[in-house]
Structure 1
């Protein structure tokens, strides 16, 4: 398993201007910070510049002065930045329904250190997965929903918000949470909530998508991880996975392959977000 970088991460963005790379790298050079990884991209259509740098040789006790000096240096370029210290472990809340494959995979990856995060709570609209979550020593919240009582959804979502904000979560993961979030909740979680779904959308909407895919004789199955927004399953895409299939794959085999791809794709998207590798550029993402 690849060892995670245990240094500083600087992620910044701003308008496309001459000298944007130089102002960042020169500042780090002047401070004696050794750069171990560097990525930058200029979106000429959006006229936005993005840069991500991993570096070391900055004492933790010097970070406040470092932040202030960097903010002053970047101000003429109208650049916003985020500085992540070594060892930072973002707090996360996971939302699930009945399917356990993505949740189980995320719990395993946290336990083994493959995902550097601190799962503070799991929220579900069904009671089925409580034993799994409790076994990992994580807070469990069951907030049921009923199609017979749609008027209760605002109350349920307020309870969800209380858990997310009360835990201090930086990221919410919809690990096969089979409920459509309200526009209000989507807006509150803008840029910090990741959803996973099968890439067969929008061709096979509704129930039993893999059975629909089998009936059509598909040759590819996959999954898409994206940030949520007001448009159902149409938020900015972070990661996608795909695998070839053929006529010999029956519906249950497509389901099995789909679950594997969903787990891998969601884990990759979460890792990229946690490591500050994802930037929003309009309705698209820049992923380093």
Structure 2
């Protein structure tokens, strides 16, 4: 089981959690914690533990809520590690992020199941369906975006994902979609934003003599590209790299950063805290 906790920091939190698990017969395997300030700050905890045979996880949740979570006013979740998270992927034409996630999933390096891929283009259908994953083509006409989002919501509602990943899905999702999707959404983009916003960011970067390019994975909020950041990385480039070479290097960074962010989320290593995150 994995336990995530966020609450106001005060003495006794770790003792209360540990005592509860001891009395339940659990064995703590991993434990990480962080406080923004020991006096008046926010406290975060990620703990993995094993339960003895015969312990009902639902009964454990109810007892933890009454005996620990309520007295400490915790935001918390308890996840059974035997249940793999269900991941849905939205993609357009760039396939590097999608292919990386599918590759890691096939190699059992992603503790999750890819339950569907949806795209506003049909070019990647064969690549996805050859792996036995459902592929849905949902075109987005300029004058019919609400209808396309409604279709996506229907598909996602049927698949019931625990996470939605935008693997270079080149459409801006509305606030209504994000309110109704029922799962966290992770996006990947190049780190030039907002300095090189709009079309042709690598061409703009080349023209300005950029020496570092990178990528950022973040949770999606209604404010464009402003959600809590999960992971970032960079790579050096030089005057010898043209815009195409920068784009290739950028794709390499994007695929790695996205894969790490998705893996960490699926392993319950990321706790959101306002506009930022704590990543254990």
Q: Is this a same-fold pair by TM over 0.5?
A: yes
Question: Aligned to 2:47, which of 26, 48, 53?
Answer: 53
**In the aligned structure 1, how far is the partner of 2:208 from the partner of 2:267?**
39
2:207 is matched with 215
Is the Cα–Cα contact under 8 Å of residues 97 and 124 in structure 1 kept in the other structure? Answer: yes
| Gap runs ≥5 in structure 2 | none
C-alpha deviation, 1:60, in angstroms: 6.1
Q: Secondary structure at the match of 1:115?
A: coil
1:20 is matched with 13
Superposed CA deviations along residues 151-205 of structure 1, whole A, max 9, x for unmatched, are x111110111111111111100000000111111123347710000001111111
Is the Cα–Cα contact under 8 Å of residues 190 and 228 in structure 1 kept in the other structure? Answer: no
C-alpha deviation, 1:133, in angstroms: 1.1
**In the aligned structure 1, how far is the partner of 2:41 from the partner of 2:151?**
40
**In the aligned structure 1, how far is the partner of 2:41 from the partner of 2:146?**
39
- Is 1:42 the counterpart of 2:39 in the alignment? no
Is the Cα–Cα contact under 8 Å of residues 242 and 261 in structure 1 kept in the other structure? Answer: yes
1:5 is matched with none
1:122 is matched with 117
- Is 1:245 the counterpart of 2:240 in the alignment? no
Q: Secondary structure at the match of 1:172?
A: strand
1:275 is matched with 267
C-alpha deviation, 1:105, in angstroms: 0.7
2:180 is matched with 188
2:195 is matched with 203
- Is 1:70 the counterpart of 2:74 in the alignment? no
- Is 1:139 the counterpart of 2:131 in the alignment? no
Is the Cα–Cα contact under 8 Å of residues 191 and 228 in structure 1 kept in the other structure? Answer: no
1:162 is matched with 154
Q: Secondary structure at the match of 2:223?
A: coil
Is the Cα–Cα contact under 8 Å of residues 9 and 41 in structure 2 kept in the other structure? Answer: yes
Q: Secondary structure at the match of 1:120?
A: strand
Q: TM-score, normalised by structure 1?
A: 0.91
